[in-house]
């Protein structure tokens, strides 16, 4: 019984951890001008846009939490985000949007199947919360059609390591339960 309670406590602790632990990326982690590829692994990898350039940390005075992650060269262009942990939720701020519907934010599954296409629906800073579409593998961002472009900031991704821990915790609980009952 004591073991079972201990396992229950552990799982509760891990659930609490999973609830709060997500990688909140503000792009203040590296100096302005840093080209970004695998610095935020394992939560997210950034991949080049159509011009072959990886995105870059930049100052954008139009964005409230500058520095931001910008296409490269700044600010108009495209890049990819890859999420190896296949999270069920990804969110970020984006802007500055001067024209509604000019942004292309395409969501793909872990095996590269197109899931949904989003665009900016408000002027200035738009918050994108991608969830309820199954596991997310890739997000493509393109601000080339918006005047003066747009970039992203405050990227939030659940941490794969935490989700794994939660999985082990639940397995452990199942094991203890079996033992206790048997």
In the complex, the smallest distance separating the C-beta of residue 93 from Ca ion, rounded to whole angstroms, is 8
How far apart CA 158 and CA 142 sit, in angstroms, is 23
Q: How many residues bind Ca ion (CB under 5 A)?
A: 9
How far apart CA 96 and CA 147 sit, in angstroms, is 9
Per-residue contact string for residues 5-44; x = within reach of Ca ion by CB under 5 A: ---------------------xx-----------------
Work out whether 98 is an interface residue with Ca ion (CB under 5 A).
yes
Nearer to Ca ion, 26 or 113 (CB): 26
Work out whether 116 is an interface residue with Ca ion (CB under 5 A).
no
Q: 154-175 burial by CB neighbour count: b if 16+ within 10 A, else e?
A: bbbbbbbebbebbeebeeebee
Tokens of 102: 């000019």
How far apart CA 125 and CA 71 sit, in angstroms, is 16
Question: Which of 157, 20, 21, 160 has the alpha carbon at shortest distance from 92?
Answer: 157
Nearer to Ca ion, 23 or 166 (CB): 23
Work out whether 159 is an interface residue with Ca ion (CB under 5 A).
no
Q: Hey, which residues between 134 and 153 contact Ca ion (CB under 5 A)? A: 146, 148, 150, 153
In the complex, the smallest distance separating the C-beta of residue 98 from Ca ion, rounded to whole angstroms, is 4
Nearer to Ca ion, 96 or 108 (CB): 96
Interface pick for Ca ion out of 65, 84, 101, 175 (rule CB under 5 A): 65
How far apart CA 11 and CA 67 sit, in angstroms, is 37
How far apart CA 134 and CA 43 sit, in angstroms, is 17
Q: Pick the piece of the chain touching Ca ion (CB under 5 A) from 47-55, 61-69, 78-86, 126-134.
A: 61-69
How far apart CA 75 and CA 179 sit, in angstroms, is 59
H helix intervals, the chain: 2-20, 160-181
Work out whether 59 is an interface residue with Ca ion (CB under 5 A).
no
Rule CB under 5 A: which residues touch Ca ion?
Answer: 26-27, 65, 96, 98, 146, 148, 150, 153
């Amino acid at each position: 019984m004591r073991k079972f309670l201990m396992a229950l406590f552990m799982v509760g602790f891990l659930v609490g951890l999973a609830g709060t632990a997500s990688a909140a990326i503000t792009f203040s982690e590296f100096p302005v001008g840093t080209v970004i590829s695998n610095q935020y692994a394992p939560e997210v990898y950034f991949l080049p846009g159509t011009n072959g350039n990886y995105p870059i940390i930049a100052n954008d005075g139009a964005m409230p939490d500058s520095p931001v992650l910008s296409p490269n060269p700044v600010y108009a262009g495209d890049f990819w985000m890859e999420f190896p942990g296949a999270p069920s939720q990804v969110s970020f701020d984006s802007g500055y949007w001067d024209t509604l519907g000019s942004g292309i934010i395409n969501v793909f599954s872990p095996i590269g199947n197109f899931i949904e296409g989003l665009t900016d629906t408000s002027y200035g800073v738009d918050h994108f919360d991608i969830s309820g579409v199954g596991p997310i593998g890739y997000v493509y961002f393109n601000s080339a059609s918006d005047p003066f472009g747009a970039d992203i900031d405050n990227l939030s991704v659940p941490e794969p390591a935490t989700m794994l821990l939660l999985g082990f915790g639940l397995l452990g609980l199942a094991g203890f339960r079996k033992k206790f009952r048997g």
